[in-house]
Copies of this chain bind each other. A is one copy, B any other.
Amino acid sequence: MEMTRRHALAGAAAIAAAPLLPNIPAQAAAPLADKQAPSFYRYKVGDTQVTVVSDGKNVFKLEDSFIINAKKEEVNEALEKAFLPRDVFTIHFAPLVINAGGKLIVLDTGNGPTAKANSKGANGLFIDHMTAAGFDPKAVDMVVISHFHGDHVNGLLTADGTPAFPNAEVLVPAVEWKFWMDDGEMSRASAGRMQNLFKNNRSIFEASLKVTPYEWGKEVAPGLLAVETPGHTPGHTSYVLSSGSGKVFIQSDVTNNPNPFATNPGWHAFFDQDAAMAEKTRRRVYDMVAAEKLQLQGFHYPFPGLANIEKDGNGYRVIPAPWNPVI
């Protein structure tokens, strides 16, 4: 039915009685798209450009042992309160590409190519997504590592075991390096997860990477100040990225997914090596960013992971920054 304003004015009653669904001839159905948008997001901090690049997600069954000082039912209640499904937990991963002072910097590297294959593309997507964002891994000048867990370091290597960022200096926390490369620490580490972490780190750093340790309290790259936030691992590092009057706190793993770890900062996850110290660090950092109204970038926050924090009872509420569709 071809209809213009004049038709409407001439016969509004007839139009109101017209069939509701137009009679469109049968045609090929539109196929469903099979891919999410390539998940990257840009913002400015002063003159510095940050691109958040999703490495994907890992969804796993919620086990009783996931949080060592809370019951599974309490965790489920916290998930439900956040409108998340019960009985599963989703970890998100968001490395950064930072363009600062003429240097291209990668901050943490995601789960890497083996995880990409094993997860059937659910994670290990950092290189794909950074390429979609227009960055060439060969153009990266520096890779800064926050700590030595697989979801942060495994992307340092390609599937062939060669450097994924062949022209980059790899900057690692000095405390972290000392701990994981110390044979005494390795010999005292418990079997299973901790032993595997030692082995994985040694395997990664056996490769021909140009590694330089960095100290807390100093700039590790232009405008990127390394901040001591231990507990999750002994050398776990966060950052303050500054340029001009712009500033953002890059928390690394001070919390994992803010639901439930920002809302319940006293909960101790199995993956925090010194859980009491991790909690102390968490409360100190979140009290600080809340008081200073400092934006925070979270590696394990849902993409794009830029947010403000406010105190809420004994925990913290996360207010995601609104997406800016035009930079």
**Chain A contact residues, CB within 8 Å of chain B:** 1-5, 8-9, 12, 15-16, 18, 20-22, 24, 27, 29-30, 32-42, 49, 51, 54, 56-57, 82-84, 90, 92, 99, 102-104, 121-123, 125, 133-134, 139, 141-142, 169, 171, 174, 177-178, 181-183, 202, 205-206, 208-215, 218-221, 293, 295, 302-304, 308, 319-327
Contacts and interface: CB of A to CB of B under 8 A. Distances in A.
Contact of A212 (B22, B39, B211, B212): B22
Contacts of A35: 42, 327
A3 B212 contact: yes
26 contacts: A3-B211, A9-B183, A12-B181, A18-B212, A18-B213, A20-B215, A21-B221, A22-B142, A22-B210, A24-B142, A24-B169, A29-B103, A30-B99, A30-B102, A30-B141, A36-B42, A36-B324, A37-B39, A54-B325, A83-B293, A90-B322, A92-B323, A92-B325, A125-B325, A303-B325, A320-B320
What copy number does this chain have within its complex? 2
B303 A30 contact: no
Contacts of A122: 326
A258 to B, nearest CB: 10
B303 A29 contact: no
B103 A30 contact: yes
A319 B212 contact: no
Contacts of A82: 319
Contacts of A214: 20
Contacts of A1: 210-212
